Amino acid sequence: MFDNKSEITKETIRVPKSEIRILLWDIDGTLMASTRPGSYREYFAPALERVFGSSGRLADLNVSGMTDTQIAYEALRDQGLTPERILAEKENLLRVFKEEMSRVLSVWENPYFIYQGVREILGKTAESPLFINALLTGNLSCAAELKLTSVDLWQFFTDVPHAFGEISHDRRDLAREAGRLYNRFLQTELRPEQFIVIGDTPNDIACARAFGARAVSVATGRNNPAQVLARHQPDLLLENLKQTENLFRSFSEL
C-alpha cells in the first residue's frame, strides 16, 4: 500500500500536471456491493465491542454515506464517546477491525459483487496518463483493501494515496485531505476542480463541494435513486457505469 509519508511522483504521468484528473472513487454502492445487505454488522459490532466495550446503537443506524469512524461515533455517542476518542484508538481499531472482518469473510461465499462497467472504466482510465484512480471512501483502509481484493479490483489502486475513513468522522474532510496528499505526491499544486469525487450518495456530493472538486453521482446504490441525487445538483449524474467510452469522455470534459 502507498505510504502517505513518501515524497515520490508517479513515473507514468506524461501530461502536464495542470491537466491531470484525480478520480476519487467511493466503494460501497459505487464500485461494488455486498451480496448480504446489512451484514457488515457481523464484523463491525464485535470490533466495536472489543475496542470500546460496546456496539451501542449500531443495529439501529442507517449508515449510507457515513465514514466508518462516523458509524462508530453515531453508534456510541450516547455512551459519551466523541469522534476524538474514537480516532485516538485508530491503530487498535484498524487491527481489530481487520481481524473481525477477515474472520467473517472467510466463511462467506461470494460476499461481494461489482457493478457492470466498473472493471472496464477502471481499466480504461488506468491506461490513460490523464487520470489517476484513487479512493475516497468511508471504509477504513483495511476494509477497503479486503473488499477490493475479494473482487480483484485492488490492482487498480496500488501505489497511490487514498482518503480512507480513519482520516475523520466527517466525510467532507476526506476530500480536503486528498488534495493535500496529491499535492505532495505529485509535488505540485493541483486545483480543487482537478479532483472528481464519484459516489452514490448526497454525502459524496457534499464532500466534493466542501473542497471545490467536481461531483459525479452514480445511481447504483440501494438508498439514493437518481431523482434523489439530482436534487443535490452533481456535475454529472449517471444511472450506472456501463458506457465506458461515454464515461471516459465525460470525465475528460469535467
pLDDT in tens, 16-37: 888 999 999 999 999 999 999 8
Distance between CA atoms of residues 175 and 194, nearest Å = 12
Question: Which among 31, 66, 90 is positioned nearest to 172, based on CA atoms?
Answer: 66
Beta-carbon neighbour count of residue 103 at 10 Å?
12
How many H-runs (helices) and E-runs (strands) does the chain carry? 10, 7
pLDDT in tens, 85-135: 999 999 999 999 999 999 999 999 899 999 999 999 999 999 999 999 999
Query: What does the pLDDT average to over 233-249?
Result: 97
